[in-house]
Amino acid sequence: DAKTTQPPSMDCAEGRAANLPCNHSTISGNEYVYWYRQIHSQGPQYIIHGLKNNETNEMASLIITEDRKSSTLILPHATLRDTAVYYCISTDEDYGGATNKLIFGTGTLLAVQP
């Protein structure tokens, strides 16, 4: 089962910031939080990941709460091409850290409106 929970859908106006929330209250201390997005009929695209510090790259920012129980992905200026399903994922310690098993849930469908 997915170890993260996300709202099933969100809307955002083009040019505005999109803030996608994720709860991961059972995440353990050494499990990373990853964000991917998937545009219809394509493979998931890696966006960003973090452990406990906030992270920023050319695509997005990741804000992780101090207790690590939740995080927010921020797309600073959403465009129509950002319309996709966004997955918040944690790794799985059951695999003993021997591989980066990603537990995918059903994600959030972000619809950017013109």
Please report whether residue 91 would count as binding other proteins according to CB under 8 A.
yes
Please report whether residue 43 would count as binding other proteins according to CB under 8 A.
yes
Region binding other proteins by CB under 8 A among candidate stretches 10-18, 59-67, 75-83, 90-98: 90-98
Using CA atoms, how far residue 98 sits from 11, 15, 16, 70, in Å, is 38, 41, 40, 25
Strand partners, 74: 19, 61
- Distance of closest approach, residue 14 Cβ to other proteins, in angstroms: 26
Please report whether residue 99 would count as binding other proteins according to CB under 8 A.
yes
Using CA atoms, how far residue 110 sits from 2, 30, 50, 71, in Å, is 19, 29, 21, 16
Please report whether residue 84 would count as binding other proteins according to CB under 8 A.
no
